[in-house]
Structure 1
């Protein structure tokens, strides 16, 4: 039963943001077994959240375990959604945004209120696949990319607006002149009062990257304190604490956080650059193919495998994902009969 719960459809229904096609899929699922009972329980939890949880920030991991016990599940883990979101391959779903939002914004919050758990400690949001949006209590919106964790104290917005980032995230910061928003990465802090910017700081990378889209931010390291202007990109080396700032393509850097990307008559090489960023996957493309084929389409929530499969139908291409999810695209070699 656990592997069949369509979390994404349920969330869209509870948020009153469900399409006709999604409504149909959900109706089919509700008609089976005791699925309606499960949905009604989740609906009740959601309503309780709206009524009672104005300023409460839950401990996600703790409350998800408690919710799992109440629902008599035997494993505590995020389930893949029946309604698929983006991932590097249709076989490789680890966690999806729907489960993330459900845990962070609904059931966990309700359980925390009813169990009377103290509002103290650390809140951790983790996204393993695709992208997930987090809405913080101060009004800030954070979009998390693949393999990213965001942590903050549960007194966030009371004493300070400090978060710690591992991975990549796009921030749309709610303005507050009296309480600067601080993103802490390994060896560097990004301090802002209200702006839009992208931060990439993976633990297995020697560098942290910051791209400023709007507003202004300051970067603080053990050696220096520097200001950034819109359109600038910063590179911080974690090994030697060197910091450099220069003009760059900040819109490409944060393109993965958009709801969609429209390609009109773009070559395969150009498109693969965006696909690599969008899906957070390495793509090896044969150099001869970079400008050979032109495509026009809109990228939304399709899987990467779906995109390249369609391309391979239109042109003589072959592709494969290796064990590390590296995608290789090359032209099908023609042979004479």
Structure 2
């Protein structure tokens, strides 16, 4: 292991130097040892050159970096010693360079390892991640996703809360999404929207393509494309629900569809989307209900639209908004 780490240090120094000719005697001796060593250095060189593209923020694409890593990873089939619990978040240029260079130099690509990947979308932000298995997850504001793969169990396991749009890559290895209250979604390859905020009274699954199984303890609900289902946290029941499927993932286009939605529920969405605190006059939150769609750029524009749709007045002070009747 020490020999490998020493060679890695020499490789890094060579790549940092930017020279075409190899003058390092240690590196020369290592390359002369076998053709596989030469191929390995060439692979590192290609990764290093590719990572230079990401230093230009105009062309940086985190998802593209993930796809490249995943393709390389799946071409490797040797089963070496596991690397336990690698954990990182995608957060810009440094993450991409670390992903493609540092992990490669440690031999990460050569193993089918136990790996954990996490991503959080804070209030006021949205994020997208391409998981190591090729699946993509788009996260709405205030959401968290953690992907874990166990090479012994051959299961892709997800810990999730918030709201996310999942496009799961097809595989014989089960893809299981676990949420609070013991609710699970099991898939092999499909597309669905999942809304599971901790402070919401329900968990809702909206299936766009494929099949999924929604489970809670001994209850099991098999869903087909075009169907929606909910788990009620108060009654611990799973049941199918009616509604417009496209409305469930309207947030992807910054649209809030209000289907007989109370002012209180609208404010809950706005607090997450815009990272604000909204105080509503007592009893007003459930009295006022909306039908329609909102698509505005700023919280001020949204509040102005709501005030025209109903008998409310609002006052904004920084991130704090108070709503009263007119």
Bin for the TM-score computed over the shorter chain: 0.5 to 0.7
Matching residue of 2:6: none
Q: Name whichever structure is richer in helix by fraction.
A: 2
CA distance in 2, matches of 1:171, 1:161: 13
The answer to whether the aligner puts 1:171 opposite 2:163 as a matched pair is: no
Could you tell me whether the CA contact under 8 Å between 2:214 and 2:222 is conserved in 1? yes
**Where do 1:250-329 residues align within 5 Å?**
250-256=245-251, 258-261=252-255, 277=269, 280=272, 284=280, 299=296, 302-308=297-303, 318-320=313-315, 327-329=321-323
| Structure 2 CA distance for partners of 1:116 and 1:320, relative to 1, 3 Å | farther
Matching residue of 1:190: 185
| Structure 2 CA distance for partners of 1:303 and 1:227, relative to 1, 3 Å | same
CA distance in 2, matches of 1:276, 1:145: 13
Could you tell me whether the CA contact under 8 Å between 2:114 and 2:149 is conserved in 1? yes
CA distance in 2, matches of 1:317, 1:280: 21
CA distance in 2, matches of 1:189, 1:233: 15
Instruction: Give deviations 1:148-197, integer Å, cap 9, x for gaps.
Output: 111112568x9333211122211122334x23432122312212233322
Relative contact order higher in (CA < 8 Å, ≥ 6 apart): 1
- Deviation for aligned residue 1:144: 0.8
Structure 1: tracts of 5 or more residues without a match: 1-38, 65-99
CA distance in 2, matches of 1:148, 1:251: 20
| Structure 2 CA distance for partners of 1:236 and 1:317, relative to 1, 3 Å | closer
The answer to whether the aligner puts 1:126 opposite 2:120 as a matched pair is: yes
The normalised TM-score by structure 1 is 0.54
**Where do 1:1-337 residues align within 5 Å?**
42-43=55-56, 53=69, 54-55=71-72, 100=90, 102=92, 106-110=96-100, 112-113=102-103, 116=106, 119-129=113-123, 130-153=125-148, 159-176=154-171, 178-186=172-180, 187-238=182-233, 241-256=236-251, 258-261=252-255, 277=269, 280=272, 284=280, 299=296, 302-308=297-303, 318-320=313-315, 327-329=321-323
CA distance in 2, matches of 1:167, 1:270: 20
Select the structure of larger CA radius of gyration: 2
> How many corresponding residue pairs?
249
Could you tell me whether the CA contact under 8 Å between 1:63 and 1:111 is conserved in 2? no
- Deviation for aligned residue 1:236: 1.8
The normalised TM-score by structure 2 is 0.55
CA distance in 2, matches of 1:318, 1:117: 60
**Structure 2 residue matching 1:280: 3-state secondary structure:** helix
**Structure 1 residue matching 2:217: 3-state secondary structure:** coil
| Structure 2 CA distance for partners of 1:151 and 1:202, relative to 1, 3 Å | same
- Deviation for aligned residue 1:212: 2.1
